[in-house]
Structure 1
Amino acid sequence: MEGFFLYNQAEQLMEQYPLTVTETAKGRGAIICITECGEKILKEYKGSAVRAEILHDVAEYLNKAGIKTDGIITTTEGAFLSGSAEEGFYLLKDWYSGRECDTKSRDDILEAVAQLARMHQCLAQYDGQIPEGFFVSEQILIGEYERHTRELKKVRNYIRAKKKKNLFETKFMEHYSGYLTQAEEVEERLKEQAAHREESEWQQMYGLCHGDYNQHNILFRKEGIWIINLEQLHVDVQVSDLAHFMRKILEKHNWNTGLGMDMIRAYDKKKKLSAMECEQICFRLAYPEKFWKVANHYYNSRKSWVSGRDIEKLDKVTGQEKERQQFLEMLFHFVR
């Protein structure tokens, strides 16, 4: 419904910009506009005007530094958003056609990791004002994992109370104990690291992060690599981006140890990883995120019938566990 509204309001919204639109086309939840200044994309935006201004400034900073991204275009009156509180706010951004990072291509993956390291290095030097709301503390990650673990226990308790269990529930209970142990160990190690950290080293790990670094937000063009969609930008341990990308890729590659270690090396070659950063990557990949996600989806969906897709996803997670543990063992050895 929102996409329908945007398509019908696009012409009116575009009148707020100093551009002439000659053609429009529907994109993914957005409108692509052909203008005399190139292609632009009009997207719904849920954040504040202050946040939009920071996104604009950071994009300008990155582009000037040679890290290509999609900049935000201001309205005729210099505003960073168009629309209204009643009808919703929108961002107009530069839009680029290009080839998304191919998750089957080792070269694409390693180039994407190297570009992430360059972006992090650049963002670490950003000296613009960043509001407090952008900052994420280590306690938020610990709290998030503790919540996930409580949810796993809730699923366990629900299933255990059932007299007759379906196939998903039987499989879940077979593997639950091992994954719970993993979850609790990661929580304890994160707390231990937080308690014994050197503050100066801890601060050096922090900087602006992309927030959603995945293959869809990495474009390969003849001019180079574009990193787009910075809307989830925040200040956190920068290697959180790397861990997020590694998890996405390694799940698709059956936790291939060689590829995983090559990703670590590709990042380290451009931006040296500290021992504490390596530990952070280990902890984030060691938490059984995918097992929790599958269990949580099952618990929050209709349980009167079991989804074949949920069983398929659970089988894939548990089927990759041997390879995942081999990779984590290698990674923890690398850290030591």
Structure 2
Amino acid sequence: MQTSGGAMILKRYEGNGMRRRLDALADALDAVLLAGVEIAPYLRTDSGLPYIVDRNGLYTIQPWLRGRHLSLKVREERLAAARALANLHRVPAGHSSDKAFYLRVPPLWEKYRHRLEKAQLATFKDPTLRDAWRPFQQLARHAVYELQQSSLVRALDHDLQHGSLCHRDPAPHNFMWSGEGAALIDFDLSGYDVRAHDLYQLMNHALYLNGWESGLFAEMVEAYDQIMPLDVDNRSVLQSLMRYPSLVIREWYDFGKTDNHHTLRTRLAWAQMQEEKRQQEL
């Protein structure tokens, strides 16, 4: 919406439980902003609340950042996105916060096991593709098993102690490119998670939208490391996540929800080709 103070984003949320989450998230984003990281914080009311209550709904207002959504097809913009995540993570936004509890998220392995199970069920709807599914099923099972090991616990412990806020949805449309750097927007899914997970999600988007090219992952990790180096346990988590064939899982997962046979084979063929190239670089 247009205001006398410039363009703003107005969002509506449902449920009383969102008040505590928005309170905690607003505090974390304020800390990130004060550390010099370009983001769009929640504007506060005169009474200090980061939301407005009106007719059983909660509303937030955020400034609209300048620029356009970035393209992961452009190397400069991909690296800027990795650096933006590192700048977010380096801020101890949740350190010693008494509200950090409301931004905790479930263990990673639970999320990826759930997606695997749903994808597995969807494959029974098209038996002709079952043979092509099995190798990816094995990769996914092994990755989920690895994510249950102690390196994930240690990495999460380390990141929680530092207070790194993770975006948890670093898709291209959640970055603004100004021509000089990238800024993150839309923190609705944010929480205190393992840092490697944000980087993994970003690289997945680059792989799917950009197509694979030599050094695609290594360059993004290097750009991230220059600002907020990954510790040994986060690197181990990242390796395990990168073995998880997320692109193929997603196609089967979406097919299970839509039953759209028309696009399944085409989209699945692209996803399988990209996953094979991912394994080559790993």
Give the TM-score of the pair, scaled to structure 1.
0.74
Q: Who is 2:275 aligned against?
A: 321
The one-letter code matched in structure 2 to 1:298 is: F
Match among 126, 131, 136 for residue 179 of structure 1 = 136
For the Cα contact (< 8 Å) 2:13–2:58, is it kept in 1? yes
Deviations 1:108-147 (A, max 9, x none): 111221121122011367443234232135xx32222222
Q: Does residue 217 of structure 1 match 2:171?
A: no
Match among 73, 80, 84 for residue 43 of structure 2 = 73
Deviations 1:162-210 (A, max 9, x none): xxxxxxxx2x22311101110111122222x22xx49666521343211
> Shift of residue 106 of structure 1?
0.3
In the TM superposition, what are the counterparts of 1:221-232 in structure 2 within 5 Å? 221=178, 224-232=181-189
More deviation, 206-215/144-153: 144-153
For the Cα contact (< 8 Å) 2:152–2:237, is it kept in 1? no
> Shift of residue 77 of structure 1?
4.4
In the TM superposition, what are the counterparts of 1:108-123 in structure 2 within 5 Å? 108-123=77-92
The one-letter code matched in structure 1 to 2:159 is: M
- Measured at CA, do residues 204 and 257 of structure 1 come closer, stay the same or move farther in structure 2, by a change above 3 Å? farther
Match among 91, 94, 104 for residue 73 of structure 2 = 104
Q: Who is 2:119 aligned against?
A: 152
Q: Who is 2:59 aligned against?
A: 90
- Measured at CA, do residues 54 and 249 of structure 1 come closer, stay the same or move farther in structure 2, by a change above 3 Å? same
Q: Who is 1:135 aligned against?
A: 104
- Measured at CA, do residues 157 and 231 of structure 1 come closer, stay the same or move farther in structure 2, by a change above 3 Å? closer
- Measured at CA, do residues 227 and 173 of structure 1 come closer, stay the same or move farther in structure 2, by a change above 3 Å? same
The one-letter code matched in structure 2 to 1:45 is: Y
For the Cα contact (< 8 Å) 1:254–1:324, is it kept in 2? no
Gaps of at least 5 residues in structure 2 are none
Secondary structure at the counterpart of residue 115 of structure 1: helix
The one-letter code matched in structure 2 to 1:144 is: K
For the Cα contact (< 8 Å) 1:205–1:277, is it kept in 2? no
The one-letter code matched in structure 2 to 1:40 is: M
For the Cα contact (< 8 Å) 1:80–1:91, is it kept in 2? yes
The one-letter code matched in structure 2 to 1:275 is: V
For the Cα contact (< 8 Å) 1:142–1:187, is it kept in 2? yes
> Shift of residue 234 of structure 1?
0.5
C-alpha distance in 2 between matches for 1:83 and 1:296: 36
C-alpha distance in 2 between matches for 1:293 and 1:222: 32
Higher RCO (C-alpha under 8 Å, 6+ residues apart)? 2
Match among 229, 240, 256 for residue 283 of structure 1 = 240
> Shift of residue 244 of structure 1?
0.7
Deviations 1:293-326 (A, max 9, x none): 2112222324xxx533222211111222331211
Give the TM-score of the pair, scaled to structure 2.
0.87
Larger Rg: 1
The count of residues paired between Structure 1 and Structure 2 equals 277
Match among 145, 162, 166 for residue 188 of structure 1 = 145
> Shift of residue 224 of structure 1?
5.0
- Measured at CA, do residues 200 and 124 of structure 1 come closer, stay the same or move farther in structure 2, by a change above 3 Å? farther
More deviation, 287-296/202-211: 202-211
Match among 239, 258, 267 for residue 196 of structure 2 = 239
For the Cα contact (< 8 Å) 1:49–1:80, is it kept in 2? no
C-alpha distance in 2 between matches for 1:223 and 1:317: 32
For the Cα contact (< 8 Å) 1:219–1:225, is it kept in 2? yes
- Measured at CA, do residues 39 and 151 of structure 1 come closer, stay the same or move farther in structure 2, by a change above 3 Å? closer
The one-letter code matched in structure 2 to 1:146 is: R
